[in-house]
Amino acid sequence: MAIGVDYSGNRHILDAEVANSEAEVNWRSFLEGLVRRGMHGLRMITSDDHSGLRAAIDAVFPGILWQRCQFHLQQNAHSYVTKKDDIPLIAADIRKVFNAPDRENAERYLQQLVEKYQKTHPRLAAWADENIREGLSVFNIPENHRRKMRTSNLAERQMKEINRRTKVVGVFPNAASLLRLAAAMLIEQNDQWQNDKRYLPESNDRPALNEIYRKKVA
C-alpha cells in the first residue's frame, strides 16, 4: 500500500496490491506502477527497513531521500538491550536524538548515546551507530513537516484496520477478492481525507511545495 501527501498537504491513497511475498520483484513492480500512472515530484519516502522494499526504492527512485521509520527504530533497539529495566532510559536517549532541533544536534546526541552505552550495552551502541542515522533524513525537510513524516504510522494504521477486517472474513477464495475488500476500505478512507483538514501545513519553502511527500509501508 502507498499513501502520498501532495504539495497542498493533503493525504491520498496512491495504490494497493496483493502479493505473495515482500520480495524486491514485487515491490519494484508496485513502485514502477505508480510511476507509470503519473506519480512525479517525489521528494521523500518514509518506510520501515525491509530489504526487498529498500532495494526496489533504490532501483526505481535512485537518490531519493529515504526516511527510516523512527517508531520501528525504537522498537528494534529493544532487542539489543539485555536488561529490560534499562529500556525506558535507552528509549528516552533515542527520543532525544529524534527530537533534536536540527541535524547537527541530532548527530551530537547520537554520538553521546553511542559513547554512553559502549561498555554497558556494546551491541546496542554498535547497532545505534550503524542504524539510527537512517532515521534522521527528516531533518532535510521543512521543520513543520517533520513530526508527521518521521514515521510510517499513517500507513501502519491503515494496514492494521485492513488486517482486522480481513480476519473477520477469514478465508478469501482468491487474491482478487481480498483486494476488492481492501480497496473498498481504502477508497472510503481516501474520500474521508478529502474532507479533512490538511495533514501537513503549507511551507514557506516554495520549492518544497512543488514536491510530493510519499509514504510507503510494507
Per residue in 113-144, pLDDT (tens digit) is: 999 999 999 999 999 999 999 999 999 999 99
CA distance 14 to 2: 5
Residue 217, pLDDT score = 44
**Burial grade of 102 (CB within 10 A; 0-12, 13-18, 19 or more):** exposed
pLDDT of res. 7: 85
pTM for the full model?
Answer: 0.88
Taken in order 53, 59, 60, 62, is the CA torsion positive or negative?
Answer: positive
Q: Give the whole-angstrom CA distance, residue 155 versus residue 216.
A: 7
Residue 203 confidence (pLDDT):
55
What per-residue confidence (pLDDT) applies to 15? 95
Enumerate residue ranges in the chain where pLDDT < 50: 206-212, 215-218
Say how far apart CA 174 and CA 6 lie, in whole Å: 33
Cα 107 from Cα 120, distance rounded (Å): 21
pLDDT for res 82: 87
